[in-house]
Amino acid sequence: MSSKNDILSAIRSHTGKRYNMPDLTLDAIVYEDKIAQFSDALQAAGGKAVLLQPGEDVNDIIRQHFPDAARIASNLPDITCATFNPDDLADPRELNNTDLAIVEGHFGVAENGAVWITRQVKHKALYFISNSLVMLIDREAIVNNMHEAYKRTEGMTYDFGAFISGPSKTADIEQALVFGAHGPVGVLVILK
Amino acid sequence: MSTKHSKAAARFIANRKQEAWHDETLWMVRAKRDKMSHSIPEWERLRELASDIKLYSNSHLDTLLEEFEKNALANGAIVHWAKNAAEHNAIVQEILRQHDAHTLIKSKSMLTEECGMNEFLQEQGYDIIESDLGERILQWMHLHPSHIVMPAIHIKRQEVGEMMERVLGTEKGNSDPTYLTHAVRKNMREKFLTADVAMTGANFAVASTGEIVVCTNEGNADMGTSFPKVHIATFGMEKIVPSREALGVFTRLLARSGTGQPVTSYTSHYCKPKEGGEFHIIIVDNGRSDILARPDHIRMLNCIRCGECMNTCPVYRRTGGYSYTYFIPGPVGINLGMLKDPVKYSDNVSACSLCLSCSNVCPVKIDLGEQIYRWRQDLDRIGKASTEKKIMSGGMKFLMERPKLFNTALRFAPLVNKMPRFMIYNGLNAWGKGRELPTFAKQSFNDMWKNNKIK
């Protein structure tokens, strides 16, 4: 407690002019075709977005994109191509060597291709440990920019949430871009 | 008197090819930033907002930190306060001790670097594993970051490949970045799964929700926190933002400025401990509250550590991060070093051409170059002004104040053109190092004017 008090009293005695909080309203960028912009931004980030066509089954789309995936995790009832329910595992470490995880996101962000997820599975590891990640969102659920995005998170409670924009990547060796630094090598967003 | 910076820079520059690569690569990142910023019409308004929000939050740290703590506690987190590096490191050690932990897996944090935490814990026998690829490479090579966002930017792929042959047994002579990155991925996977405790820094701490936000491209912070029961997050107190609405301004600026991406791959919000786990948050002062008392330098607390001022700086690009004596290099590091200990870190203030490019691109509008200029005016007061430059400046002042003498001196100036090199380029002429003097004109402008040669 004493360190806290010391720090706070140092702050109080050193703080000079107190500035006002600015008005945060601004004309942020909006897009005519949010789906097209979202797809472009995601592609630039190394991911891919596909629009589910009428009559198409989401499981077929997943299978087409990941024909070699053997160990497929999902707790979503509609995902019949899943080979196991990750929530049945007691320890997140058992998720290692998962080829593909299929999860639901809340919404997408057009300006940067990110999808907002909150932990909807038992182990948060699922979003990061599988070789590829499929995120399903409603095609109507795309906001223009991060300001709209954070407005949309109001009232959501979560222990862990994340904006995920494409696959895990690094350029730490000579600025050469490499996908799959630690997390998914590929990310597919299916717009339902 | 050469500064430590200029001596170290001379060593970096000696490898011309590497210097040129470093310069061009960082400029490429700067150009990506320009492209990104130009695609957002409201860019300049965003910078203004970011600066204004920071001025508000840093002048209300007392109330915002207490609000953050209250909300974090309500979320189930355990909040610690550290006045300095020693307290910070002791808090981390105590958490490790409580959990009988030996291995700490951590994501990149300039704050733990600032606190010398890794060295401290390693001396106590703990195994500290950096999980960011660049940081991991540096850890294997026993080096420190040369850039705050691209920590291994000064190392060539061949050096990484050779090191990994020894450490990971990768193929001899293979320095392909994809091959090497995936070799580390494999090695790190096992480390993620077996670490006892996870640690992250924080890019932002949101007062109104008590959550911390970590931005990475690799997902290493998220992998690290996915398996151990205990997560320690540490942040310098200026990382506080009032609300998620304000956070939106910063998440739009950070990656666009730092790496030229619209956003990092992962912008992760940590709110509550995992089931049956513990979420520790350390709020660190370590000199930050002292900066509040310095109105001339208060904007340094705006910094969101994007690294853009390094990418744009002509001196940083061409001399490398190791040329600076403070652990954070470039314009931001020059200033933070001077705030930490002006006598110890004054060598860095000359590593600036006052071009002000840093001030012009800074996403939170810190007057970086202007502050460096102000530090220079202070050098004499702290006894760190260069003696020979002082003598020369004194001589110039003497001449400038005596027009007759000045004009006479000017008349004799062309003699310098014929002087042997050793008389001009020697230890007494600091400006003669690495520069060629222009040839003095045969006649001064004044004389030409008087003789009606100028109409």
Across chain A, mean pLDDT equals: 97
The answer to whether position A6 is within a domain reads no
- B156 vs B420, higher pLDDT: B156
Write down the pLDDT at residue B129: 97
Please say if the pLDDT value at position B187 is more than 90.
Answer: yes
The answer to whether position A116 is within a domain reads yes
CB-nearest partner of B285 from A10, A20, A169: A10
Token couple for A100: 């593909």
pTM of the predicted protein model: 0.92
Q: Which of A128, A131, A133, A151 to mutate to test the interface with B (most CBs of B within 10 A)?
A: A128
Instruction: Sort out which chain B residues have CB atoms less than 8 A from A183's CB and list them.
Output: 218-219, 222-223, 265-266
Instruction: Sort out which chain B residues have CB atoms less than 8 A from A162's CB and list them.
Output: 222, 266-269
Cβ-count burial of B453 within 10 angstroms (0-12 exposed, 13-18 middle, 19+ buried)? exposed
A to B CB pairs, distance under 8 Å:
240
- DSSP secondary structure code for residue B278 in this structure: E
* Residues 168-207, chain B, touching A (beta carbon < 8 A): 177-178, 180-182, 184-185, 188-189, 192-193
Backbone angles phi, psi at B292, to 5 degrees: -55, -30
Per the CB < 8 A criterion, the answer to whether B108 and B128 are in contact is no
With CB atoms and an 8 Å threshold, state whether B177 touches A166. no
CB-nearest partner of B265 from A168, A172, A178: A168
Write down the pLDDT at residue B382: 83
Query: What is the domain range of residue A85?
Result: 31-191
- B162 vs B394, higher pLDDT: B162
The answer to whether position A1 is within a domain reads no
CB-nearest partner of A29 from B40, B283, B289: B40
Write down the pLDDT at residue B428: 67
Per-residue confidence band for B419, with pLDDT thresholds at 50, 70 and 90: confident
CA-to-CA separations, B362 to B54, B302, B371, in angstroms, rounded: 13, 10, 13
Ordered by where they begin, the domains of chain B are: 4-14+304-378 (no CATH), 60-289 (3.40.50.10420), 387-450 (no CATH)
Per-residue pLDDT tens over the stretch B320-341:
999 999 999 999 999 999 999 9
- DSSP secondary structure code for residue B176 in this structure: -
The answer to whether position A50 is within a domain reads yes
The answer to whether position A26 is within a domain reads no
Q: What is the CATH number of the domain that holds A186?
A: 3.40.50.10420
Please say if the pLDDT value at position B159 is more than 90.
Answer: yes
Across chain B, mean pLDDT equals: 93
Write down the pLDDT at residue B206: 98
Number of domains observed in the structure of chain A: 1
> How far is it, in rounded angstroms, from Cα B71 to Cα A190?
35
Write down the pLDDT at residue B397: 82
- φ/ψ region of B116 (left if φ > 0, alpha if ψ in -120 to 50, else beta) reads left
The answer to whether position A10 is within a domain reads no
Backbone angles phi, psi at B306, to 5 degrees: -85, -25
Highest mean pLDDT among B15-19, B159-163, B410-414: B159-163
Per the CB < 8 A criterion, the answer to whether B429 and B436 are in contact is no
Write down the pLDDT at residue A1: 59
The answer to whether position A79 is within a domain reads yes
Per the CB < 8 A criterion, the answer to whether B226 and A123 are in contact is yes
Per-residue pLDDT tens over the stretch A109-138:
999 999 999 999 999 999 999 999 999 999
Write down the pLDDT at residue B455: 65
Residue with tokens 């053997």: A70
Write down the pLDDT at residue A127: 98
- B13 vs B318, higher pLDDT: B318
Cβ-count burial of B125 within 10 angstroms (0-12 exposed, 13-18 middle, 19+ buried)? exposed
Q: Is residue B59 less than 8 Å (CB to CB) from chain A? A: yes
- DSSP secondary structure code for residue A84 in this structure: B
> How far is it, in rounded angstroms, from Cα B112 to Cα B282?
11
Per the CB < 8 A criterion, the answer to whether B138 and B145 are in contact is yes
> How far is it, in rounded angstroms, from Cα A8 to Cα A86?
45
Spatial CA neighbour of B43 closest among B245, B253, B209, B251: B253
Per-residue confidence band for B453, with pLDDT thresholds at 50, 70 and 90: confident
Write down the pLDDT at residue B175: 97
The answer to whether position A20 is within a domain reads no
Cβ-based neighbours of A74, under 8 Å, separated by 6 or more: A82, A85, A86, A101, A102, A103
* Residues 309-338, chain B, touching A (beta carbon < 8 A): none
Range in B115-129, B177-191, B245-259, B411-425 the model is least confident about: B411-425
Q: Which of B63, B136, B265, B296 to mutate to test the interface with A (most CBs of A within 10 A)?
A: B265
